[in-house]
Amino acid sequence: MKNQRITIFDTTLRDGEQCPGASMNLREKLEVARQLARLKVDVIEAGFPVISEGDYAAVHTIANEIRGPIIAGLARCVPRDIEAAGKAIQPAGKKGRIHVFLATSKIHREFKLGKAEDEIVRLAVKGVTQAKSFTDDVEFSPEDGSRTEPDFLVRVCQEVVAAGATTVNIPDTVGWAVPSEFEDLIRHLHDSVPAFKSGKALISVHCHNDLGLAVANSLAAIRAGARQVECTINGIGERAGNAALEEIVMALKTRADAFKGFKTGIKTKEIVKTSRLVSRMSGLGVQRSKAIVGENAFAHSSGIHQDGILKKRETYEIVDPQEVGWGQTELPLTKHSGRAAVAARLKHLGFKMSDEDVSAIFARFKEIGDKKKFVYDDDLSALVDGQLTEVSETWSLEYVSVTTGNQSIPTATVRLSRSKPNKKKENLEDAGVGDGPVDAALKAIDRLTKTHGILKDYNLRAVSQGKDALGEVVVKVDFGKGDWITGRGASTDIIVASARAYLNAVNRFLASPTRKKASKKAI
């Protein structure tokens, strides 16, 4: 096996976004895509174009604006899916890829598709052939590959490669595999399909984490001949998630003795920044003890450990935290900092903001600058998140005041403004009572907006350090339409932050078009 370069295929914007409440708008997806390009991933799977107008627009926009990585669109082996993906990736030119998939396992053939082996092969070949009419770069995935009979899987691989597939991805769709068995399966495919052995086509793997084995299975597959790994930032994804990009990359780099010669093109110092951005954009927090990117990943509380670290870092740290992007925050800004200084810091942090965006962020910066001594990079990033998550505001928060206490009924008075076409803003005010001040404020917002959201998740975190830290609230709300809507808000006052987050979710719900439903249960 001469080729030791591992292609990193990032599916954060497709499979990662399939978590309930993790959906991102176009601006959020574009910002994540820009950061993935800075991270130097090889392939960005930008979405599933046929699934909705939003997914199509995201893939098309990313294909048009992002340079460096290959931009892929997902499609079932269905003509309209493939046509949508082909049109969406067109702006990427030769850097465009269509990723087609079709279930092959016995259980899927019998109970989901009701098709025999020969029909599966015919449809797979037909799908690859159609995709080739749009681009030379075609990837095929036999869905539920890890539970497909090995000999039939060999046949499928041979036929799709003959039809023009340049990558064949073997998904462990339901997280069924264990490392030893998965390694044997990948080795069997590598040795049985001449195109894999010659390097004419690559074997890829896409592992889910239902048994907590996604990373282990991916690394086992690399040993057996896989040369592309499909993964996501922070391991986010359907159900228990996907293989975590940062863990795979750092395992290969840190244990070069065990994975001799294998390397990726990832710029590891961008890992933590990417992790934080994806966490903020998706609304999915990172577990404190998460490997590589968790807040406790390099924290040492034991006296013995601390003593060892002080004497020689390697005694208790196998990875240098600075190697993956952990380090000191840049010197903070203050309320006296001007617009140019804020714009320069935004550019330094990697954000691409228009003049209008910078003006809006600067106004919020001055607001919090009056309330706290220093504005840190994380504070500024939270303000950017707020700008990116904004939608066309049906409702704006003008005022919120609460009274609460252990001997009184929590009450909130909320004033909202509503924008109407060709009319002045209309101000409306109402009050609500609840179990606490946040609940009271949210009920007042419901009364004013005539919506009824059920709060499914509420997360509050201190964005930066100190007693005057900016508080960021992320909520997931069910408005009775099936999807959870994520809302975000930030303020030095957690009641205000909560109200902003909930109102952000309301505005996103009111602005969202009816989504076209196709099967998102893919590989």
The residue with tokens 């714009």 is 343
Domain boundary among 374, 389, 404: 389
Helix (H), strand (E), coil (C) string for 20-36: CCCCCCHHHHHHHHHHH
Residue 383 shares a structural domain with residue 255: no
Q: Does residue 404 form part of some domain?
A: yes
The answer to whether the Cα torsion of 320, 322, 327, 331 is positive or negative is positive
> Are 357 and 434 within one domain?
no
Q: What is the pLDDT of residues 218-263, one digit of tens each?
A: 999 999 999 999 999 999 999 999 999 999 999 999 999 999 999 9
The pTM of this model reads 0.84
Sequence-ordered list of residues with C-beta below 8 angstroms from that of 321, at least 6 positions apart, any chain: 297, 298, 327
Q: Is the pLDDT of residue 454 over 80?
A: yes
Same-domain check for residues 238 and 219: yes
The verdict on 210 and 274 lying in the same domain is yes
Where does the pLDDT of residue 328 fall: very low under 50, low under 70, confident under 90, or very high at 90 and above?
low
Question: Can you give the CATH number for the domain in which 464 is found?
Answer: 3.30.160.270
| Any domain includes 422 | yes
Tokens 């810091």, residue located: 345
Which tokens sit at 70?
A: 């290959």
pLDDT at 373: 75
- What is the spatial distance between Cα 33 and Cα 13, in angstroms, rounded to a whole number? 8
The stretch 194-215 carries a mean pLDDT of 97
89 in Cβ contact with 70 (< 8 Å): no
The answer to whether residues 371 and 409 belong to one domain is no
Residue 198 counted as domain residue? yes
Predicted confidence at residue 215, as pLDDT, reads: 98
Give the mean pLDDT of 457-469: 82
pLDDT for residue 68: 97
Token pair of 171, please?
A: 């998904």
Report the alpha-carbon distance of residue 351 to residue 238 in Å, rounded. Answer: 28
CA–CA distance, 205 with 233 (Å, rounded to integer): 16
Same domain for 458 and 346:
no
- Integer Cα distance of 207 and 306 in angstroms: 36
| For residue 518, pLDDT beyond 50 | no
Q: Which is more confident, 509 or 61?
A: 61
195 and 51 in one domain? Answer: yes
Whether residue 423 is contained in a domain is answered as yes
The lowest-confidence range among 233-237, 250-254, 458-462, 467-471 is 467-471
Q: Which residue has the tokens 């380090």?
A: 327
Q: What CATH number is given to the structural domain containing 197?
A: 3.20.20.70
Mean pLDDT of the chain: 90
* E strand spans, 218-367: 228-231
Q: What is the pLDDT of residue 332?
A: 74
DSSP-assigned beta bridge partners for residue 459: 474
Q: Is residue 517 part of a domain?
A: no
Check if the beta carbon of residue 44 is closer than 8 Å to that of residue 66: yes
**pLDDT digit string (tens) for 153-177?**
999 999 999 999 999 999 999 999 9
Q: Check whether residue 423 and residue 491 sit in a common domain.
A: yes
Is the separation of the CB atoms in 488 and 367 below 8 Å?
A: no
517: pLDDT confidence band, cut at 50, 70 and 90?
Answer: very low
Does the residue 323 lie in any domain? no
Element (H, E) at 277: helix 271-282
**Domain with 422 in it:** 395-511
Give the domain-ending residue among 389, 408, 424: 389
| Residue 244: DSSP 8-state | B
412 and 482 part of one domain: yes
Compute the average pLDDT of residues 416-429. Answer: 81
Q: Is residue 197 part of a domain?
A: yes
258 and 359 belong to one structural domain: no
pLDDT for the residue 415: 96
Strand order of the β-sheet with 484-491 is 454-462, 471-478, 484-491
Adjacent-strand bridge partners of 205: 170, 229
Instruction: Report if residue 292 sits inside a domain.
Output: no
In this predicted model, what pLDDT tens digit does every residue of 357-403 receive, in sequence order? 898 888 888 888 887 778 888 888 888 877 776 666 689 999 999 99
State whether 352 and 458 are in the same domain.
Answer: no
**66-122 pLDDT tens trace:** 999 999 999 999 999 999 999 999 999 999 999 999 999 999 999 999 999 999 999
Give CA angle at 233 (230, 234), nearest 5°: 120
State how far the Cα of 52 lies from the Cα of 66, in Å rounded to an integer: 21
Cβ atoms of residues 50 and 522 within 8 Å: no
Cα–chain-centroid distance for residue 186? Answer: 27
Among 389, 404, 421, the domain boundary falls at 389
94: which residues sit within 8 A by CB, 6+ positions away? 135, 136, 137
Tell me if 89 sits within 8 A of 131, measured CB to CB.
Answer: no
What's the confidence (pLDDT) of residue 515? 38
How does residue 440 score in pLDDT terms, banded at 50, 70 and 90?
A: very high
Helix, coil or strand: residue 355: helix
Q: Is the Cβ–Cβ distance between 373 and 331 less than 8 Å?
A: no
Q: How far is CA 496 from the centre of its chain?
A: 27
Give yes or no: residues 226 and 355 share one domain: no
Separation of alpha carbons 364 and 157, rounded Å: 55
Residue 128 in this model has a pLDDT that exceeds 70:
yes
- The number of domains in the chain is 3
